[in-house]
Amino acid sequence: APILHLPGPYATWHRPLTLNGLLTLREQYPEGKIVVGNTEIGIEMKYGRKTYPIFIAATHIPELNHMEVDADGLTVGAAVTLTRLMRTLKQLVADMPKHQTRTFQAMGEQMKYFAGNQIRNTASVGGNICNASPISDLNPIYMSTGSVFTVQGEGTGVRKIAAKDFFVSYRKVDMQPHEVLLNVHIPFTKQHDFVREYKQAHRRDDDIAIANAGMRVRMEMATDGEWKVAEAEMALGGVAPKTIMAPLTMDLLQGRVWNKETLHAGIASLAQDVYINSQSPGGMVEFRRAMAASFFFRFFMHVAFELD
C-alpha cells in the first residue's frame, strides 16, 4: 500500500493510507509516535522539550475516520476530529428520540467548552483518549456511560476494553506498544437515564479543566410510587493522577429515592471517594474536593427537574 514517507534530519514522517499499513508501521517502530491533530504532541515538544524521531500519521486511515450508528449506539473512529464529532452529535440529538441521546446531548454541550475552534478542528477523539490526561474533558463521560474502546495490534487482533478500565495510572492506558486505538463506542441511553458532564476551569473558553465529571443515573419507578436509582455511574477528573470512578458514591446511590437525604449522603460519600493529598501536583486541594460536591449538587438538581 502507498505510504507517504518523508525522511528529515530530526524526524521521519510516515503517513500510511490503510489500517494494515498503520499496524505494520506500529509494529515495526515501537518507539514511533502516532500523531493526528498534534495538539498534545506539539505542546510536549515545544514546552516539554521532548523529541520524537519517528512519526506515524493516522490521519488518513478510513477505519479511523468512520462514524456509524448501530442498534446500540454510536461508534466514532479514533482519528475523527472533535468538530466532526460535535456536528454528528447535534444531528443525532435532532433526529432521534430524546431519551436515547442524553449522553450525546451532554457531550455536545460540554464540547463547546473544549478548547476553541482551531483546536477542535484538528484535535482527534483518539488523541484525547490515548493521551490519558487526568483532566481530559471527554474521558469522564466515556467512563460513566458504559462506552467501550476497541484497540488493534498486528498479530494480536482486536481487543475491546471498557472505558472505565482503560486508564491504568498517570498517563498510562491499557494498550500495548504495538496497538492502536481504532474507535470508541458510545451507547444510547435508555428511558429514564440522565447524563451530565461538568467542567470547572479558570476561563470559559480555551482553557483546560481544574476538575471535571461525568455522571449518569438510571431511575425507575418503584412499586411504592417513588423514583429510585437503578444504576449510578460517576467519573471524576482532576482529583487524582488519572480520571477515577467514585465507587462508594455509586454504591450508596443504588436503590435510593432522589431526595434531600440522598443529596447530603452523596456529598458526604464523594468526600470519601475523592482523597487528594495536600502535596498533590496542581494544589487547590480544598477547591478541587469542593468541586466534586458541587458537580453532584448540580447533577442532583438536574435529575430532580427532569423527573418533575
Q: Tell me if 33 contacts ligand FAD by CB under 6 A.
A: yes
The string of DSSP codes covering 213-236 is EEEEEEEEE-TTS-EEEEEEEEEE
Contact (Cβ atoms closer than 8 angstroms) between residue 127 and residue 37: yes
Among 45, 86, 119, 230, binds ligand FAD (CB under 6 A): 119
126 binds ligand FAD (CB under 6 A): yes
- Residues 250, 251, 257, 263, CA torsion sign: negative
* Binder among 25, 85, 130, 235 for ligand FAD (CB under 6 A): 130
Closest distance of CB 304 from ligand FAD, Å? 28
Among 129-137, 224-232, 243-251, 259-267, the segment contacting ligand FAD (CB under 6 A): 129-137
- Grid cell for residue 85: 464529532
**Under the criterion CB under 6 A, does residue 123 sit at the interface with ligand FAD?**
yes
Q: Which helix (H) or strand (E) holds 173?
A: strand 172-173
Q: Which of 23, 25, 36, 234 binds ligand FAD (CB under 6 A)?
A: 36
Q: Is 100 exposed, middle or buried (0-12, 13-18, 19+ CB in 10 A)?
A: middle
Q: By CB under 6 A, tell whether 84 contacts ligand FAD.
A: no
In this complex, which beta carbon is closest to ligand FAD, that of residue 193 or of residue 197? 197
Of residues 165-184, those binding ligand FAD (CB under 6 A): 180-181
Q: What does 64-96 look like in DSSP terms, one character per residue?
A: GG-EEE-SSEEEEETT-BHHHHHHHHHHHHHHS
DSSP lists the bridge partners of residue 5 as: 14
Our CB check for ligand FAD shows the closer of 37 and 146 to be: 37
Helix axes 82-95, 102-111, angle to 10 degrees: 140
Q: Does 58 bind ligand FAD (CB under 6 A)?
A: yes
DSSP-derived letter for residue 257 is B
Among positions 238-257, residues that touch ligand FAD (CB under 6 A) are none
> Which residue among 127, 134, 140, 214 contacts ligand FAD (CB under 6 A)?
127
Residue closer to ligand FAD (CB basis): 118 or 272: 118
Q: Does 152 bind ligand FAD (CB under 6 A)?
A: no
Cβ–Cβ < 8 Å for 306, 195? no
Give the one residue of 43, 96, 222, 268 binding ligand FAD; rule: CB under 6 A: 43
What DSSP line would sit under 111-132, residue for residue? HTTSS-HHHHTT-BHHHHHHHT
Instruction: Write out the binding residues for ligand FAD, residues 188-207 only, by CB under 6 A.
Output: 206
Q: How far is CA 180 from the centre of its chain?
A: 16
Between residues 134 and 266, which has the closer beta carbon with respect to ligand FAD? 134
Query: For binding to ligand FAD (CB under 6 A), which residues are involved?
Result: 33-41, 43, 58, 78, 114-115, 119, 123-124, 126-128, 130-131, 136-137, 180-181, 206, 208
